[in-house]
Structure 1
Amino acid sequence: MRNQQVIKLFLVIILSITYIFSFSHFGALAYDSVINRSDEFAEGTTIGSVSVAGKTRNEAMKMVDEQLTDYLNETKITLKYKEKSEAFDLGLFHFDVENSVSKAKHGQANSVIVKLDTIEDVLISLSPSILDDIHLDEVQAAILNYAENLEPGNYEIRLDPYLTGTGSETTIAESVIESQFVENELDLFAGKSIEIPATSQFSLLKFVEDEIGAVSQGSLSKIATAIYDVILPTNFDIIERHISSELPAYASLGFEAKADIDLKNDLVFSNPNEFSYFIEFENKNDSLYVSLKGPEFLNKYVIISEDKETFKPKIIRQFNPMLGPTEIKVKVAGKEGQLIKIYREYRDEKGMVLKKELIAEDFYPPVHQVEVQGLIVKEGDSSTTIPNTDNGQVENQDGSSSSPNNSKDSSDPNSKTDLNNPDSSNDDELWGKENEIPK
């Protein structure tokens, strides 16, 4: 009985010694492990775009600071309001790396703590009146969103969605095809509305092919001219445009656009804006009105005509012995040629000219007048002479120019043209002289 008590006591002492030894040894290891690991971030922990899993706070601060340097060097944020853009100054950001690391939660995605200075001056540079129509807090939150992740890149923030107004449509420009030029074919366009989507390209020939069908060249050119007229006072880019050899009666100088399906003469332009515009056709008082509608532009686009020149036609004279000596008939009426340059001025809201660009330089060559005139036949002589006229310089049918006031005397045999004698002196001038070296 006594031996059993001794054995039990011995076992208790052994277990106690083992427990104390294990606690002191393994407890120290556990404590050391806990103490050392408490300064390292758990798996899945990120600060901005930086993964700091398994890193100490000091290591994490160094990594985030390096990422911040890359972000500031490689990031560009652009604010865009209608057709105007402005680069955002990254110096308006104030990053707090130390608090971002110290307050980061283990195993979670954490944003970088960053504050933003006032952005009112940046917005005013886009438009002096924008502060009255925009949700400022929402814009600041959108800008901060591109900073809290420290992800380098090029970002564009459109301000139009943050406006308090609805941005209703307005009539930008209007053109009219007068009633005397309206044909039945133009009724095919009445009531139509053509959408020019944001950042897209428009082709008149493709639209006609898809939506209208067969249209004559004359009617198509009138539509092209009206559309060209309404898109000129915009920032639309003219890609393809043609004009006729003579200015049509329905078009103003510098504002014609010719379209022809057979010749593939198209009117093509693009809308560079972030919103759609609409070209609408409406019949009013027997005239066809063409209008461009959409959000109002920020800038003003003024069309200016400059450097207009005119070119007088020449007189091309033909001779017909069937007419009387002083009889003159106009076969083709002459018409002056014209040249004009069309410029587009970009003006801001205050009216200051931002830039001026040449849009077109239209030239219509003169139409030379063709006159048919009789010949003078001397009595008792078969020779004829070219009658003197009061006209200025003329261009003969063979293309040479002459001035009647400076011509040789009609009594000079060299100035006569013998219509009945093929061996007259004019033959030498036509066929050349003997032993003449060919040119």
Structure 2
Amino acid sequence: MKKSFLAVLLVTAMSVVFLTTFTYAMTFTYEVLFSEERLDRNAMIASVDLSDMNREEARETLQNEIRDWQEQAIVDVTWFDDVLSLPGSVFEFRVEETLDHYFSDESDHEELIVHVRETSLEDQLRSLTAPEDIIRIVDMPELMDQLEAEASALNLEISIPLRDTLEPFERLEETVTVSVSRGVDQGPLLEDWLSREPEWLVEAGEEFRVSDELSPFNGGELMNILSSGVYEAVLTMNFDIIERHTREQRYPNVPLGYDAFMDGNGRDLVFRNPMDTDYVIGFEEASGGLSITVTGYELPYMMEVRLEDVRTVDPKTKVTHTRDLEAGESRMDSFGENGEFALVMRSRFDEFGELIDEEVVSRDFYRSVNALEERSSLEPEPEPEPEEEPENDGFPENGNGEFPDEFPDNGDWDDWDDWNDWNGGNGFPDNGNGIDGQNGNGSTGNGTDPSNGNNSGTGDGSDQNGGGVNGTNGTNGPDIPSSTDEDGNPIKGM
């Protein structure tokens, strides 16, 4: 009985072992002979999870990821501040070749196999603002290797500076690219600051705030002279100006067009380095002031910063009135200051001197300062009225002039012409007598040649008697008093 039970138990155990072994063997045989090959657990290609996927599943997953990458990825090739964004068509993703390596266990990396189409890449490079022979000076195999390495990992942001892929004999060297001078007195504060040989690193693509470096000066003219020099230097380097201010009246040592006012209280000078390489701004003591330099790679084009439409605005005069000045007086308290205007332009030229582009950087305007004049508010005293003219002492006026101050002495008839014109000339024309002077009634008259002035004749105007030639009669005019004195005697010389 016991032997039968043991026999049955042995047979049952052997049957279970047989069935289990058979099942596993058949499963293994099926997988080897009939199932599709699958990737290992946790398998990844270019950060894409392909765990336990067969070839078809892996292919579809990779193609979807590549399609998304081509739509979203930013692939830039830079040449200083010129950026060339490459299209996805430049890259050829070889999915089947990549899967062949993985399923054959020959893959020694976890990236996609990518090929850059060289002809397409060269066509893109020619659109850069770069030397005309850019294809010659660039090591194309090196550039393609860098692009393929970045794309094979499906990185979404790729940027490769061309200066790092130049042929050995075309490699660039760092130098002082810009130097700007400013006149300023060397005070203790500036001397101490310069003795530390300050240098500012302006990293590629980064913004820079000048107030962070000039805080020891805490506003004032010295800070603004330094910021002005920095502003001129970075303008010439074609840096982007983010923030910049001008003062109401520029300091004398700050050139027109290059004001960069900072007050240590919020107003700042901020710029950005758009290049694909770092630059260093340095400060050195110089004769009569200091120099500001920018060190780095020489720009691949020529820069020009210039002023246009420079104008001067004359000041107006503001007048106030005061009682401190005498009537009619005035004085200038201030002559004011001229206003200014300038248009700041920046231009780029290629290696042949041809204009690439230009821009208006700023329109700088400084208002004029009014002149101040004070004038007296007192009324001037009125001018005295003119004196009345004396009466004519009984001598009639003939309407043709005024009496002379005195008559000539006897015998001085040569002076007659000098004062004769007081009555319009020609003697006493209104009495109707002769030319040389007659009495008022035409009965007597003096001759034309009285040698002593006493030979006056008598007559009716027609005869010529008595010591001279009597004047000829004309038509008698209105009666006037005889030319006699108060005793009745004739006036000499008349």
Fold shared, TM-score > 0.5 on shorter chain = yes
8 A contact 1:225–1:255 mirrored in 2 = yes
8 A contact 1:70–1:152 mirrored in 2 = no
CA distance in 1, matches of 2:75, 2:112: 18
**What secondary structure sits across from 2:126 in the alignment?**
helix
Is residue 137 of structure 1 aligned with residue 141 of structure 2? Answer: yes
**What secondary structure sits across from 2:237 in the alignment?**
coil
Question: Alignment length, in residue pairs?
Answer: 356
**What secondary structure sits across from 1:304 in the alignment?**
strand
Residue aligning to 1:246 = 249
Give the direction of change, closer, same or farther, for the CA distance of 1:267–1:45 in structure 2 (3 Å limit).
closer
Cα deviation digits, residues 103-151 of structure 1 (max 9, x gap): 43456655433322213333333323444544332221111123334x3
Which of 92, 95, 115 does residue 93 from structure 2 map onto?
Answer: 95
Give the direction of change, closer, same or farther, for the CA distance of 1:324–1:111 in structure 2 (3 Å limit).
closer
CA distance in 2, matches of 1:63, 1:23: 37
Residue aligning to 2:125 = 123
Residue aligning to 1:68 = 66
Give the direction of change, closer, same or farther, for the CA distance of 1:354–1:326 in structure 2 (3 Å limit).
same
Cα deviation digits, residues 264-322 of structure 1 (max 9, x gap): 54333333434332222222333322222222234444323233333222223345566
Q: Which amino acid in 2 is paired with 1:241?
A: R
8 A contact 2:232–2:258 mirrored in 1 = yes
CA distance in 1, matches of 2:27, 2:218: 93
8 A contact 2:79–2:276 mirrored in 1 = no
Residue aligning to 1:177 = 182
Residue aligning to 2:200 = 195
Residue aligning to 1:219 = 222
8 A contact 2:92–2:114 mirrored in 1 = yes
8 A contact 1:241–1:267 mirrored in 2 = yes
Give the direction of change, closer, same or farther, for the CA distance of 1:85–1:336 in structure 2 (3 Å limit).
same
Cα deviation digits, residues 320-358 of structure 1 (max 9, x gap): 566566654322113322222223334555555554443
8 A contact 1:196–1:277 mirrored in 2 = yes
CA distance in 2, matches of 1:23, 1:258: 90
Identity %: 22
CA distance in 2, matches of 1:188, 1:84: 40
Offset at residue 360 of structure 1 (A): 2.2
**What secondary structure sits across from 1:147 in the alignment?**
helix
Which of 299, 322, 334 does residue 336 from structure 2 map onto?
Answer: 334
For structure 1, which runs of at least 5 residues remain unmatched after alignment? 1-20, 382-439
Is residue 282 of structure 1 aligned with residue 288 of structure 2? Answer: no
Q: Which has the higher contact order (CA 8 A, sep 6+)?
A: 1
8 A contact 2:224–2:260 mirrored in 1 = yes
CA distance in 1, matches of 2:280, 2:143: 29
**What secondary structure sits across from 1:259 in the alignment?**
coil
Offset at residue 50 of structure 1 (A): 4.4
8 A contact 1:189–1:281 mirrored in 2 = no
**What secondary structure sits across from 1:377 in the alignment?**
coil
Residue aligning to 1:57 = 55
8 A contact 1:174–1:230 mirrored in 2 = yes
The structure number with the bigger radius of gyration is 2
Which of 253, 258, 261 does residue 258 from structure 1 map onto?
Answer: 261
Q: Which amino acid in 2 is paired with 1:138?
A: E
What does 1:319-358 align with in structure 2 at a 5 Å threshold? 319=321, 323=325, 328-349=330-351, 351=353, 353-358=355-360
8 A contact 1:83–1:297 mirrored in 2 = no
Give the direction of change, closer, same or farther, for the CA distance of 1:43–1:82 in structure 2 (3 Å limit).
same
Cα deviation digits, residues 185-217 of structure 1 (max 9, x gap): 4323435332133144433333233xxx35671
What does 1:389-408 align with in structure 2 at a 5 Å threshold? none
Give the direction of change, closer, same or farther, for the CA distance of 1:376–1:294 in structure 2 (3 Å limit).
farther
8 A contact 2:202–2:281 mirrored in 1 = no
CA distance in 2, matches of 1:152, 1:202: 28
Give the direction of change, closer, same or farther, for the CA distance of 1:222–1:377 in structure 2 (3 Å limit).
farther
Alignment TM-score, normalising by the size of structure 2:
0.61
CA distance in 1, matches of 2:50, 2:296: 50
Q: Which amino acid in 1 is paired with 2:87?
A: D
Residue aligning to 1:114 = 114
Offset at residue 85 of structure 1 (A): 0.7
8 A contact 2:208–2:272 mirrored in 1 = yes
What does 1:126-165 align with in structure 2 at a 5 Å threshold? 126=128, 127-128=130-131, 129-149=133-153, 151=154, 153-163=156-166, 164=168
Give the direction of change, closer, same or farther, for the CA distance of 1:276–1:73 in structure 2 (3 Å limit).
closer
Q: Which amino acid in 2 is paired with 1:291?
A: T
**What secondary structure sits across from 2:59 in the alignment?**
helix
CA distance in 2, matches of 1:120, 1:73: 22
For structure 2, which runs of at least 5 residues remain unmatched after alignment? 1-18, 386-494
Is residue 232 of structure 1 aligned with residue 253 of structure 2? Answer: no
Is residue 377 of structure 1 aligned with residue 385 of structure 2? Answer: no
Which of 207, 210, 230 does residue 213 from structure 2 map onto?
Answer: 207
Give the direction of change, closer, same or farther, for the CA distance of 1:67–1:291 in structure 2 (3 Å limit).
closer
Give the direction of change, closer, same or farther, for the CA distance of 1:175–1:197 in structure 2 (3 Å limit).
closer
Give the direction of change, closer, same or farther, for the CA distance of 1:219–1:48 in structure 2 (3 Å limit).
closer
Give the direction of change, closer, same or farther, for the CA distance of 1:88–1:373 in structure 2 (3 Å limit).
same
Which of 54, 75, 78 does residue 77 from structure 1 map onto?
Answer: 75
Deviates more, 1:357-366 or 1:183-192: 183-192
8 A contact 2:44–2:50 mirrored in 1 = yes
CA distance in 1, matches of 2:60, 2:43: 15
**What secondary structure sits across from 1:244 in the alignment?**
coil
Give the direction of change, closer, same or farther, for the CA distance of 1:249–1:64 in structure 2 (3 Å limit).
closer
CA distance in 2, matches of 1:106, 1:267: 61
